[in-house]
Structure 1
Amino acid sequence: MSSKSTGLRHWRQRFNALFQDHEIFVRTHGHVRFLRISAVWQKRVALIAAVVLIAWAGATLAVLVNQLLTADERAAVAQQSAAAAASEKRIAQYRDRVAETAADLEERQDQLEEWQKTYFGSEPAAIAEGVNDTKGGTAQPALKTSAIDPSLPPEAQALARVAARQEALSTRLLAAVNERAANAETAVAQLGLNPTAIIRGAATGRGGPFIPYKGRMGKAKALGPAFAALEGALFRMEVLERTLVAVPSGNPADVLMMSSGFGYRSDPFTGGAAMHSGLDFRGPIGTPILAAAPGRVSFVGVKSGYGNVVEIDHGQGIMTRYAHLSGFTSKVGAQVAAGQQIAKMGSTGRSTGSHLHFEVRLNGVAVNPRRFLEAKADVLEVKDDARQRVGAIAARGAR
Structure 2
Amino acid sequence: MQVLQRLTALSTRWNALFRDHEIFVRTGGDVRFIRLSAQVQRRVATVVSLALGAWLIFTIGMLAYQAATAWQRQDVAARAAIVERAEARVARESGRIEHIAERLDARQKYLEGVVTQHLGVEVEADAKAAGDAAAAAARATSPTLPADADKISVLRAIGQRQEQLAVAMTAAITERSARAESALRAVGIRPGSTANQGGPFIPANRDGLLPPREPLFQRLDAAIDRMEFLENLVLSLPSTIPAAGMNLSSGFGYRRDPFTGAGAMHAGLDFKGPHGSPIYSAAAGTISFAGRKAGYGNVVEVDHGHGIITRYAHLSGFAARAGQRVAPGQLIARMGSTGRSTGTHLHFEVRVNGTAVNPRRFLESNSDVLEVQADAGERVRTRAGAR
Alpha-carbon displacement from aligned partner over 1:321-355 (angstroms, at most 9, x marks no partner): 22232210112333322222211223434445443
The CA distance in 1 between the partners of 2:354 and 2:300, in whole Å, is: 15
Amino acid in the other structure paired with 1:153: A
Deviation at 1:279, TM superposition (A): 0.5
**Structure 2 counterpart SS, 1:302:** strand
**Structure 1 counterpart SS, 2:373:** helix
The CA distance in 1 between the partners of 2:200 and 2:376, in whole Å, is: 23
**Structure 1 counterpart SS, 2:314:** strand
Map of 1:208 onto structure 2: 202
The CA distance in 2 between the partners of 1:379 and 1:153, in whole Å, is: 52
**Structure 1 counterpart SS, 2:247:** coil
**Counterparts of 1:176-195 in structure 2 under 5 Å?**
176-195=172-191
Map of 2:101 onto structure 1: 102
Map of 1:370 onto structure 2: 360
**Counterparts of 1:157-168 in structure 2 under 5 Å?**
157-168=153-164
Map of 2:382 onto structure 1: 392
The CA distance in 2 between the partners of 1:103 and 1:203, in whole Å, is: 35
**Counterparts of 1:1-399 in structure 2 under 5 Å?**
68-123=67-122, 128=124, 133-134=129-130, 153-195=149-191, 197=192, 199-200=193-194, 207-208=201-202, 222=212, 224-254=214-244, 255-262=246-253, 276=266, 278-284=267-273, 285-397=275-387
The CA distance in 2 between the partners of 1:86 and 1:306, in whole Å, is: 86
**Structure 1 counterpart SS, 2:129:** coil
Amino acid in the other structure paired with 1:156: I
The CA distance in 2 between the partners of 1:115 and 1:316, in whole Å, is: 24
Inter-CA distance 358–50: structure 2 relative to 1 (3 Å threshold): farther
Alpha-carbon displacement from aligned partner over 1:192-243 (angstroms, at most 9, x marks no partner): 1112x1x4279868953689xxx9xxxx993533322222222222221111
The CA distance in 2 between the partners of 1:360 and 1:53, in whole Å, is: 123
Query: Unaligned stretches of 5+ in structure 2?
Result: 1-8, 26-33, 37-46, 134-145
The CA distance in 2 between the partners of 1:130 and 1:62, in whole Å, is: 72
> CA contact under 8 A between 2:288 and 2:322: conserved in structure 1?
yes
Inter-CA distance 315–68: structure 2 relative to 1 (3 Å threshold): farther
Inter-CA distance 332–249: structure 2 relative to 1 (3 Å threshold): same
**Structure 2 counterpart SS, 1:153:** helix
Query: Unaligned stretches of 5+ in structure 1?
Result: 14-20, 24-37, 41-47, 138-149
Amino acid in the other structure paired with 1:208: I
> CA contact under 8 A between 1:253 and 1:281: conserved in structure 2?
no
For structure 1, which segment, 264-273 or 152-161, has the greater mean C-alpha deviation from structure 2 after superposition? 264-273
Scaled by the length of structure 1, what TM-score is found?
0.69
> CA contact under 8 A between 1:312 and 1:321: conserved in structure 2?
yes
The CA distance in 1 between the partners of 2:311 and 2:359, in whole Å, is: 11
Alpha-carbon displacement from aligned partner over 1:124-175 (angstroms, at most 9, x marks no partner): 8xxx4876624669xxxxxxxxxxxx99833333323433433343333333
**Structure 1 counterpart SS, 2:194:** helix
Deviation at 1:81, TM superposition (A): 1.5
The CA distance in 2 between the partners of 1:258 and 1:393, in whole Å, is: 41
**Structure 1 counterpart SS, 2:288:** strand
The CA distance in 1 between the partners of 2:248 and 2:304, in whole Å, is: 26
The CA distance in 2 between the partners of 1:177 and 1:210, in whole Å, is: 18
> CA contact under 8 A between 2:120 and 2:378: conserved in structure 1?
no
| Aligned residues: CA RMSD | 4.9
Deviation at 1:369, TM superposition (A): 2.4
Inter-CA distance 307–56: structure 2 relative to 1 (3 Å threshold): farther
The CA distance in 1 between the partners of 2:349 and 2:342, in whole Å, is: 18
> CA contact under 8 A between 1:242 and 1:390: conserved in structure 2?
no
Overall identity of the aligned pairs, in %: 42
The CA distance in 2 between the partners of 1:366 and 1:55, in whole Å, is: 122
Inter-CA distance 365–376: structure 2 relative to 1 (3 Å threshold): same
The CA distance in 2 between the partners of 1:113 and 1:247, in whole Å, is: 30
Deviation at 1:300, TM superposition (A): 1.8
The CA distance in 1 between the partners of 2:229 and 2:346, in whole Å, is: 30
Amino acid in the other structure paired with 2:178: A
The CA distance in 2 between the partners of 1:229 and 1:331, in whole Å, is: 42
Map of 2:139 onto structure 1: none
Deviation at 1:381, TM superposition (A): 2.6
> CA contact under 8 A between 1:109 and 1:133: conserved in structure 2?
no
> CA contact under 8 A between 2:314 and 2:338: conserved in structure 1?
yes
The CA distance in 1 between the partners of 2:84 and 2:369, in whole Å, is: 68
> CA contact under 8 A between 1:202 and 1:239: conserved in structure 2?
no
